[in-house]
Amino acid sequence: MAFTDLEYQAAQPPPPLAKFVESFWMLANPSEVEQHIILVPDGRIDVFFSVSAAEPYHVTLLGLQDRPEAQVIPARSTTFAISWNLLAVEYLLPIPLGELLHRGRALPADYLGMSGTDLRDFDAFCAKAAAHITPLLPGDLDPRKSKLFDRLYASNGSLPVEALAQAAGWSSRQINRYFTRLFGLSLKTYSSILRFRASWHYLKAGQLYAEGAFADQAHFIREIKKHTGVTPKELARNQNDRFIQFSAFSLP
């Protein structure tokens, strides 16, 4: 079964949430066959609200990943998700992610007021999630962190650490300590994930040469292999759609 046989929707958060919430999305496998995929990094932090034929409703927080991981999409399953920007970790999420690199952790089943019945209507889920998140928004943000993440996401990770530090008015050493403690990896590593994510659309279209964010073709190939385990040519083929980057489905 190809990935295109699955059902996918995505929605943007209301503007007041945009610094913290990247998107809401849902993925359903209505068939009787489980789907084996290789999930590649996209730099997002996800909370999954899931139910399947084999498992009752549950909520899971998944930390960042910087390498490919084999995953299974269960048969007759539905997952609604909230994808968070990194700024949410410090201000909104219930636990730090420094120890959750490549790992997940169960959250209470009533997280954000949700229950299994909320997986029946995606639009209603998005509205309810936004309504529960809005009162949690902080009144004041550290301006250094706000500037850092604004530049980081706007550049798709193409700016060097020193340039980001200068723009934020924050030393690169302090930034790396902050990243390692809260997210489990360095800013340089996270930037490479964002560059890889930005290149995904071109790779899927068969464009196999280095984009401007990479120093040269050799650097481009190394980065692709690090995050997928295969060369750009193999990834572009993507036999049976087994390599998946969920964030790509919300791109214009």
Average pLDDT, the chain: 87
Task: Give the pLDDT confidence of 169-220 residue by residue, as tens digits.
Answer: 999 999 999 999 999 899 999 999 998 888 877 776 667 666 556 767 787 7
Tell me, what's the pLDDT at 197? 87
Among the ranges given (80-84, 94-98, 178-182), the one the predictor scored with the smallest mean pLDDT: 94-98
The pLDDT of residue 96 is: 73
Q: What is the pLDDT of residue 252?
A: 35
The pLDDT, as a whole number, for residue 47 is 96
What pLDDT sits at residue 240? 44
Structure tokens at 226: 């690090």
**Token pair of 51, please?**
């139910």
For the chain, the structural domain boundaries read 3-136, 143-250
Quickly tell me which residue has 């959750």 as its tokens: 100
Class of the CATH domain delimited by 143-250: mainly alpha
In 3D space, the residue among 198, 197, 220 whose CA is nearest the CA of residue 210 turns out to be 220
239: how many CB neighbours lie within 10 A of its CB?
Answer: 7
pLDDT of residue 23: 95
Please tell me the number of Cα atoms within 13 Å of 140 on its side-chain side: 1
Q: How many CB atoms lie within 10 A of CB 197?
A: 21
Between 101 and 131, whose confidence is greater?
A: 131
Q: Which residue has the higher pLDDT, 231 or 213?
A: 231
- For residue 63, pLDDT over 50 is answered with yes
Distance in angstroms (rounded) separating the CA atoms of residues 76 and 50: 11
Structure token pair of residue 81: 């998700």
Instruction: Say whether pLDDT at 91 is over 70.
Output: yes
Position 246 pLDDT exceeds 50: yes
Q: What average pLDDT does this structure show over 159-167?
A: 95
pLDDT at 59: 98
User: What pLDDT does 247 receive?
Assistant: 52
- CATH fold of 3-136 reads Jelly Rolls (2.60.120)
Q: Is the pLDDT of residue 81 over 70?
A: yes
CB 27 within 8 A of CB 73: yes
